Amino acid sequence: MAVRLVLQQADIQRALTRISHEILESNRGSDDLVLLGIPTRGVMLAERIAGIIGSLEQRDIPVGALDVTMYRDDLDRHPTRTPRPTRIPESGIDGRTVVLVDDVLYSGRTIRAALDAIGDLGRPRAVRLAALVDRGHRELPIRADFVGKNLPSAAAERVNVRLAEIDGEDAVEIDGGTEHPGGAA
C-alpha cells in the first residue's frame, strides 16, 4: 500500500511549540521540570521541547534519556534491541515533575515500561506524558497529557516518524503495509 505523508517539518515544529506551551501551562512554569526522552526519537523530541521551553523561560531545562528495553513485558514477542544508555540529569528526578517524551503512543506498553524504570530511579512529584503522535489502539489504560497530533490508524498500518537529527528530514508518514515485527509504532 501507499505511504501517506501526514506531518511535514513545519507541522512538527508547530506541534512541539504547542506541546511546550502546554507543558509550561500545566506545570505553572519550568520550575522542577525534567524531560526524559524514550530512545531513539523521543530523546531528540525531548531536546527540542527543552530548547523551546528554555528559550521561553530563559533557562536551561534538564533533559535525559530513559531506555526501557529491559522493562518491557513483550520481549518474548519482539526482537530484542540493544539497550541504550539511560541518562538522568544531575538534578535527578526526586520531587520533580518528569515529562516522558516519545514519538508515537500506540499500545501503551512502552510507557508502562517507562513508569517501571522511573520507579527504579527515584520518586518524582508527578509524571506526565508527551507524544508527538497518538495513534490509538491502546492495550493499557495510558493516555498522553500532551499530544502533537491524534492520528487514528489501522493496526496493520505503521506510523513512521523521521527526524532531521537521525533521518535527515522531519516527517511523519503512515505506511499502509502489513504489520511489522515489533508492532507498528
Q: What is the pLDDT of residue 181?
A: 37
- Which pLDDT score is estimated for 74? 72
pTM of the entire predicted model: 0.91
Q: Which CATH number fits domain 3-76+83-175: 3.40.50.300, 3.40.50.2020, 3.30.70.60, 3.90.700.10?
A: 3.40.50.2020
The domain locations on the chain are 3-76+83-175
Helix (H) or strand (E) holding 21: helix 9-27
Per-residue pLDDT at 184: 42
Q: Are strands 158-162 and 146-150 parallel, antiparallel or unpaired?
A: unpaired
Q: Mind listing the pLDDT tens digit for each residue in 144-176? A: 999 999 998 998 999 999 999 999 999 999 998
| d(C-alpha 160, C-alpha 6), whole Å | 10
d(CA 30, CA 50): 10
- The answer to whether the CB of 130 falls within 8 A of the CB of 104 is no
CB atoms within 10 A of CB 62: 19
Categorise residue 137: left if φ over 0, alpha if ψ from -120 to 50, beta otherwise. Answer: left
Query: Which of the residues in the chain have pLDDT under 50?
Result: 179-184
Upper half-sphere CA count for residue 181 (Cβ side, 13 Å): 7
CB 128 within 8 A of CB 99: yes
